[in-house]
Every structure is written in structure tokens, then in C-alpha cells.
């Protein structure tokens, strides 16, 4: 894995959940993702990550490694990766073979981000893990096993990942709490925080990670990526309107009725109770919403406050062209930012 070093301005990357808007199909979502990835590559985004979710009709990225192959094949230089694969759902060997295959087909372009949550509800989690003895308590051991499958072959090694062995696919740990921050620090791995939906422990997690970081053969100093939501448009009013799709999505999640991404609405206040509004506002409070000037200001403040080495941007927007425009505005703002 190449050493990660801070750049000026810092790299911007994309998190894509392959959202399925109301009235669309997963196939539509896949082709929209490919179009966004191609534009992201042209605009200068560094990575394009996709996340594992299950039993959610509004998110089509369940077979994450398969979809990453589709994105990688349709782009040229963009790094592709998982943000993340939920490792307790899988055998480490299977994940090593999948990402070893990707890294063999697209050398130097593949990242493997790992999470320890199921990425779904309790019943679906049981369906996913029906034949597995693993659980989240084995997560550190599973990460270490996975690292071994990407390392150089050891004499007498009984099980190898083919392909995968010796490819040194970069592994990241992802989290929304302190656990993965501490583990990433102890193992000397890069760390990404999911503040786009769970911002409460962001600053504490970053502090723990940096304070306790132990250098490893692949990473000499801590490298932290912060993921946030950006909803940008040519006017603040348009951006606030587009943002109501994500707000509705979170309302529906809190009500236990996840579904396709809803179209935006003029009056979000009519759709939620005060308690629901508070919960959604808390979950999405690290969202930069507005026109180009507001996005620049919001991103600058976040980078200054967190000291992030890299910023990952999520944007659940109903209309595909509006989504493209949002990511274009965000990247244009990057050129005017300071460390």
C-alpha cells in the first residue's frame, strides 16, 4: 500500500449508495452511478466508494464488489472501493478473493474499507450470517486475517487468497463511534468516520485515532477521512428543496419504513413531528447545503475544525442531473479552500 500523504488542497472523494429514486429501478441506479463516477473522474475526485446495505429498496449497492467492478470498468484512473464492506457478514477469505480479483483487473485503483455493523436490520442480518460462526466480537481477528491474505505469502501458509495474496490491497477501517478509531490507531490503518449520518462522536474519534496511532509498514502517520453530505445547487432555495429528499429518507427510516428515495417537497415541515425533526436534524447536522459560496464556506469550516486529510462527499439527490451539478459545485469549491 502506498504511503498516504496530505495534499493541498486535500483530496475530495465520493460516497455513492446507488440510490434508487421512486419510480426507478436498481438498473437505473447502476447506470446513474456509472455516469456520476465518470463525471467525478473528469472533475478530479480521488476515490469512488460504495457501501454495503441489505434489504433496502432505496439502496442498490448490496453486492458491493460486483458493482465496484462495473464502476471500475467504466472509468480509467478513479480509485474505487468499499465504504464499506460489512466484514462480519462475510468470510475474510471470500472478501480477500473478491477484492484481490478487483485489484488484479484494475491494479493500483482498489481500496477496501471495512465496517463492523451489519448494514441492515436484525432479521436480514440473521439471513446473511446463517452459516457463519462469526460475529462482531471477532472483528479485530477478521481484519488481521484479511491483512494476511493480502500480504506476501509466508512459508508453509496453508490457505492463500488467489488472487489476492501479495497484492497489498489498501485496507481502511470505517466507523461512527470510538471502536474503529481505536482499532485503526492500534493497527496503523487509515480511518474514515461516517459523520454523514452519525456525527456525534466525530471529534472524539479523530482525537483518539491521532493520539494513539501506531505507525505500521504501510502507514507512517495517521490519515483520517471525514464523510459528510453536500447538497449544492445554483441557489440556496434550490439546494434546500433538493435536501428534502434525504430528510424524508431519514424520516422513513425512523418510522421503520425505508423505501426508494422520495422526490423533494416544498414543505418539509408538514411531513414530520417535532421529535422526528430533531432526530433528523441531529443525524444530518454535518450536511453542507446551499449555493456555491455557502458550500465553500461550509467545507472550509469543516476542514479547519476537523483537520481532515481527505473529505468524502455523499449526496442523495432525487434528480440525476441535479446530483451531478451538486458534485460539480463541491469540487469547484475545493480549488478555493485552504488547509
CATH number at residue 252: 3.20.20.30
How many CB atoms within 10 Å of residue 134?
16
Unique residue bearing C-alpha cell 423533494: 264
Single out the residue of 81, 329, 322, 39 nearest to residue 225, CA to CA: 81
Residue 3 lies in a domain: no
CA–CA separation, 181 vs 185, rounded Å? 6
Residue 179 lies in a domain: yes
56's grid cell: 433496502
In Å, what is the CA distance from 235 to each residue of 128, 245, 289, 298? 44, 17, 10, 15
Instruction: Determine if the pTM surpasses 0.85.
Output: yes
pLDDT values of the chain reduced to their tens digit, one per residue, 339 residues = 445 655 568 999 999 999 999 999 999 999 999 999 999 999 999 999 999 988 889 999 999 999 999 999 999 999 999 999 999 889 999 999 999 999 999 999 999 999 987 545 566 666 666 455 545 578 999 999 999 999 999 999 999 999 999 999 999 999 999 999 999 999 999 999 999 999 999 999 999 999 999 999 989 999 999 999 999 999 999 999 999 999 999 999 999 998 999 999 999 999 999 999 999 999 999 999 999 999 999 999 999 999 999 999 999 999 999 999 999 999 999 988 875
In Å, what is the CA distance from 67 to each residue of 22, 37, 99, 303? 21, 12, 12, 30
Residue 66 lies in a domain: yes
Residue 32 lies in a domain: yes
Helices (H), 166-235: 179-187, 202-212
Residue 6 lies in a domain: no
Number of domains in the chain: 1
How many CB atoms within 10 Å of residue 222?
23
Residue 298 lies in a domain: yes
Largest CA distance in the chain: 66
Is the peptide bond between 116 and the residue preceding it cis, with omega within 30 degrees of 0?
A: no
Residue 1 lies in a domain: no
CA–CA separation, 319 vs 162, rounded Å? 41
54's grid cell: 441489505
Q: What is the domain extent for residue 310?
A: 12-335
Amino acid at each position: 500500500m502506498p504511503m498516504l500523504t496530505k495534499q493541498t488542497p486535500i483530496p475530495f472523494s465520493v460516497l455513492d449508495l446507488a440510490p434508487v429514486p421512486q419510480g426507478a429501478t436498481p438498473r437505473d441506479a447502476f447506470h446513474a452511478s456509472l455516469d456520476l463516477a465518470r463525471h467525478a473522474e473528469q472533475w478530479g475526485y480521488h476515490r469512488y466508494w460504495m457501501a454495503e446495505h441489505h434489504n433496502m429498496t432505496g439502496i442498490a449497492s448490496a453486492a458491493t464488489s460486483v458493482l465496484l467492478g462495473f464502476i471500475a470498468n467504466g472509468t480509467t484512473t478513479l480509485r474505487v472501493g468499499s465504504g464499506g464492506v460489512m466484514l462480519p457478514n462475510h468470510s475474510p477469505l471470500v472478501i480477500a478473493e473478491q477484492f484481490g480479483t478487483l485489484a488484479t483487473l484494475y491494479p493500483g485503483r482498489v481500496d477496501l474499507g471495512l465496517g463492523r455493523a451489519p448494514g441492515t436490520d436484525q432479521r436480514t442480518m440473521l439471513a446473511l450470517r446463517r452459516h457463519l460462526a462469526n460475529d462482531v466480537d471477532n472483528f479485530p481477528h477478521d481484519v488481521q486475517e484479511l491483512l494476511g491474505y493480502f500480504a506476501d505469502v509466508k512459508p508453509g501458509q496453508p490457505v492463500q487468497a488467489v488472487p489476492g495474496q501479495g497484492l497489498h490491497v489498501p485496507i481502511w477501517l470505517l466507523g461512527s463511534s470510538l471502536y474503529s478509531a481505536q482499532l485503526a490507531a492500534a493497527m496503523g490503518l487509515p480511518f474514515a468516520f461516517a459523520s454523514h449520518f452519525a456525527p456525534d462522536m466525530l471529534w472524539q474519534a479523530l482525537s483518539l485515532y491521532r493520539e494513539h496511532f501506531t505507525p505500521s509498514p504501510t502507514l507512517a502517520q495517521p490519515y483520517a477521512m471525514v464523510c459528510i453530505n453536500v447538497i449544492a445547487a445554483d441557489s440556496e432555495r434550490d439546494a434546500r428543496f433538493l435536501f428534502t429528499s434525504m430528510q424524508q429518507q431519514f424520516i422513513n427510516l425512523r418510522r421503520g419504513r425505508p423505501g426508494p428515495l422520495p422526490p423533494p417537497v416544498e414543505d418539509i415541515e408538514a411531513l414530520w413531528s417535532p421529535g422526528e425533526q430533531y432526530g433528523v436534524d441531529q443525524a444530518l447536522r454535518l450536511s453542507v447545503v446551499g449555493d456555491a459560496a455557502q458550500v465553500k464556506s461550509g467545507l472550509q469550516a469543516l476542514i479547519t475544525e476537523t483537520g481532515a486529510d481527505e473529505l468524502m462527499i455523499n449526496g442523495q439527490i432525487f434528480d440525476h442531473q441535479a446530483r451531478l451539478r451538486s458534485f460539480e459545485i463541491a469540487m469547484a469549491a475545493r480549488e478555493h479552500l485552504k488547509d
